[in-house]
Amino acid sequence: MKRKIYLKMEPLDVARDILEKTFSGCRTGEEEIPSREADGRITSRPVGARLSAPSFHAAAMDGLAVEAAHTFGASDETPVTLRAAEGQAIPVNTGQPLPEGMNAVIMIENVLFRNQDREIVIRAPVYPWQNVRKVGEDIVATEQLYPTNHLLGPADIGALLTAGCPTVWVRRKPRVMIIPTGNELIDGSEADIAPPPGKTIESNSGMLAALAARAGAIPTVSPIIRDDYDTIKQHLRAAVDSEADMIMINAGSSAGSADYTVRIIEELGEVLIHGVTIMPGKPTILGVIGGKPVIGNPGYPVSSLISCEQFVQPLLARMQGLALPEKKLITAVLGKNMPSSGGMEEFRRMITGRIGSRFVTLPLKKGAGAITTITRANTILRIPASSEGENKGAVVALELLRPLDQVERTILCTGSHDLTLDVIHDFLKRSDPAYPLASTHVGSLGGIMAVKSGMTHVAGSHLLDPATGEYNTSYIRQYLNGQDVTLLTLVHRQQGFMVRSGNPKNIRGVEDLLRGDVTFVNRQGGSGTRVLLDYELDRAGLSAAGIRGYDFEEYTHMSVAVAVLSGKADAGLGIMAAARALQLDFIPVTEERYDLLIPTEFMTTPGIMQLLNIINSNPFKKKVEKMGGYSTRETGNIVTQ
């Protein structure tokens, strides 16, 4: 079939306005539910009290119930004596019914008993209904408790039960049918079995169902549907004819030859929007069939999430009379240049932490398929369509994705990648309070420069000085001269060549990288591993120009290991722990020292003190040693200050 090209993409605000106006009168029906289960639900009709509260005159204090007139005139000079035997004062506890004929309560602290408690002396009068909760003081039977479209909370549930309302009428939760499509998709129930080449575990439906549930909906996920026009059409028609209030079709919304969603919606109903000027999320389709909203949701995970957040969740909320909470904003200093495509509003996941009196923020890697940007980010930056990006040092507005106190406790770690950083992060998350460690991998030199510009709390570094054989210190003197910093050892680790199991290319040393049948995967410029490779080449009198793949760069040891495992490369330089994690063979090259560089002013802050306690602890050292290729013999030792 012919490709369906986007005819007219619309800006986000225009697309949302069209969707909102199309379904402005679309509300879910109502249902009667137990009041005890009504938290977070929206009333569909006014709620009237069936009972008064209190339903009787009740003592508001522990004391003596009296008729107020009997106390008039009491003072220190002219105390009044009440006689219990004559019924002038009757003991009551808080909440008990007021005895017949009584209209006030004297607090027990304000009376004096004498003559074996038969006489009660008071030195101050009480007025009528003092210290008494009168009938209906809180709630009067038949009065309106809540109007239509009231969001019920925990306190409301207590009031409903007090007012004799064991049930309440609320808006029915919208039902959402989620239809995943794609020949490449497989069920992920057998999680320990890797999918065969060309196949992908279907995961978007789980994410979309959770997002729909957070908007108050009841999601249902259909089985995976193959990319076949008639099959998708049949399932979509059945979903529209079902009790579902909204249908989401995941994948197939773009302009590929097998992307059928837009044609099917056109055939069965109307396409309102095909394509929105946002990144990620551009291929979103907004349509209507049989009066029901049908959303064509992009297949890439981040695109899918953005599309759902911007269109599905707000519409689901409006169907129930709900309003989604406004996004909380903070401002932060941008730690890196961020160019952007003009004409497209861009949503960038960010890592943000407080450094001194300001927040600093750094972008996670781009890519609509990079689901880790969703899980790792704590803030989001929206770059307007009219902008061509933001420059390093700019003050930008960020939407919070995590609670503010969690963002404030985040420790920013910028620089070289090492697997022990994940171990530190895990230990820090167990702390009370937790201090998340957010790592961005820009290489050792990038970490040093982040310290220089005040954009990080910690930098990981393993830069070898070929002239002296020292690690890190000469670079600190060169780039941070005059800055007060502390360099301490985290680990010693084995660096070497990672190759596929069995070493099919029989790679033994750096000289084998120049063979015509060997493809290499490198680390990025400025990384300590790249410096080590160049050092080893120079020692052997070899030129990097002869290495096929020298310019093929990855940013972490695990990314290098994956490239080797997948066959994209025959060898890559990295740490033993990464090779061991993916069951690759490892040819040792050298042991190196991996350090942490910390501005000294942060050494006494709570988060860094907790980090230092962790790396000096036996549980941390044991876990690191168990990973393989690490030595903790100098862990925590200060190299220079």
Average pLDDT value for residue range 203-230: 94
- Tell me the range of 131-145, 377-391, 604-618 where mean pLDDT is highest: 604-618
Is the confidence at residue 572, as pLDDT, over 90?
yes
pLDDT at residue 364, as a whole number? 87
Residue 367: pLDDT band by 50, 70, 90 thresholds? low
Lowest mean pLDDT among 226-235, 245-254, 426-435, 564-573: 245-254
CB 58 within 8 A of CB 93: no
pLDDT at residue 258, as a whole number? 54
CB 615 within 8 A of CB 622: no
- Structural domain boundaries in the chain: 12-26+174-189+197-319, 30-54+137-171, 58-133, 329-402, 448-640
* The one-letter amino acid at 423: V
How many whole angstroms from its chain centre is CA 152? 25
Is the confidence at residue 489, as pLDDT, over 70?
yes
CB 570 within 8 A of CB 518: yes
Residue 201: pLDDT band by 50, 70, 90 thresholds? confident
φ/ψ of 324, rounded to 5, equals: -65, 145
**Exposed, middle or buried by CB within 10 Å (0-12, 13-18, 19+), for 237?**
middle
CB 490 within 8 A of CB 418: yes
Dist CA 253 CA 274 (whole Å): 8
CB 250 within 8 A of CB 299: yes
pLDDT at residue 253, as a whole number? 64
Is the confidence at residue 2, as pLDDT, over 50?
no
Average pLDDT value for residue range 398-420: 94
Q: Specify the long-range contacts of residues 144-147, CB closer than 8 Å, at least 24 apart.
A: 144/46, 144/47, 144/48, 144/49, 145/47, 145/48, 145/49, 146/43, 146/46, 146/47, 147/43, 147/46
List, in order, residues 6 or more apart from 189 with CB less than 8 Å away. Answer: none
Dist CA 261 CA 267 (whole Å): 10
More confident residue, 466 or 637: 637
φ/ψ of 91, rounded to 5, equals: -60, 135
Is the confidence at residue 8, as pLDDT, over 90?
no
pLDDT at residue 3, as a whole number? 44
Q: What is the CA radius of gyration of the chain?
A: 34
pLDDT at residue 199, as a whole number? 84
Query: Tokens for 177?
Result: 């049918």
Is the confidence at residue 60, as pLDDT, over 70?
yes
* Number of Cβ within a 10 Å radius of residue 638: 12
CB 204 within 8 A of CB 247: no
- Tens of pLDDT, residues 283-296: 999 999 999 999 99
Average pLDDT value for residue range 382-406: 94
Residue 342: pLDDT band by 50, 70, 90 thresholds? confident
φ/ψ of 169, rounded to 5, equals: -90, 125
Letter string b/e over residues 461-481, b meaning 16 or more CB atoms within 10 A of that residue's CB: bbbbeeeeeebbeebbeeebe
Dist CA 234 CA 216 (whole Å): 28
List, in order, residues 6 or more apart from 569 with CB less than 8 Å away. Answer: 519, 520, 521, 549, 552, 560, 563
pLDDT at residue 340, as a whole number? 86
Average pLDDT value for residue range 294-322: 94
Write down the mean pLDDT value for the chain: 92
Least Cα distance to 362 among 449, 421, 277, 427 occurs for: 449
Dist CA 4 CA 100 (whole Å): 83
CATH H-level superfamily of 58-133: Molybdopterin biosynthesis moea protein, domain 3. (2.170.190.11)
Dist CA 398 CA 353 (whole Å): 12
What percent of the chain has a predicted confidence (pLDDT) above 90?
79
Residue 7: pLDDT band by 50, 70, 90 thresholds? low
pTM of the model: 0.83
Average pLDDT value for residue range 17-45: 95
What's the maximum distance between 2 C-alpha atoms anywhere in the chain?
Answer: 115
Is the confidence at residue 137, as pLDDT, over 90?
no
Is the confidence at residue 1, as pLDDT, over 60?
no
Query: Tokens for 268?
Result: 């069965």
Residues, the chain: 641
CATH of region 30-54+137-171, choose from 3.20.20.80, 3.90.105.10, 3.30.559.10, 2.40.10.330: 3.90.105.10
Average pLDDT value for residue range 488-499: 96
Query: Tokens for 339?
Result: 């160019």
Lowest mean pLDDT among 6-15, 59-68, 122-131: 6-15
**CATH topology for 329-402?**
Beta-clip (2.40.340)
- The three-state secondary structure class of 615 is helix
* The one-letter amino acid at 538: D
Least Cα distance to 455 among 606, 595, 599 occurs for: 599
Phi/psi-derived region of residue 442, left when phi > 0, alpha when psi is between -120 and 50, beta in every other case: alpha
Task: List, in sequence order, the alpha helices (H) in 243-363.
Answer: 261-268, 301-307, 313-319
Is it true that 12-26+174-189+197-319 and 58-133 share their CATH fold? no
Least Cα distance to 458 among 627, 594, 622 occurs for: 594
**206 sits in which H/E element:** helix 204-214
Average pLDDT value for residue range 476-482: 91
pLDDT at residue 483, as a whole number? 92
**CATH topology for 12-26+174-189+197-319?**
Molybdenum Cofactor Biosythetic Enzyme; Chain A (3.40.980)
**CATH topology for 448-640?**
D-Maltodextrin-Binding Protein; domain 2 (3.40.190)
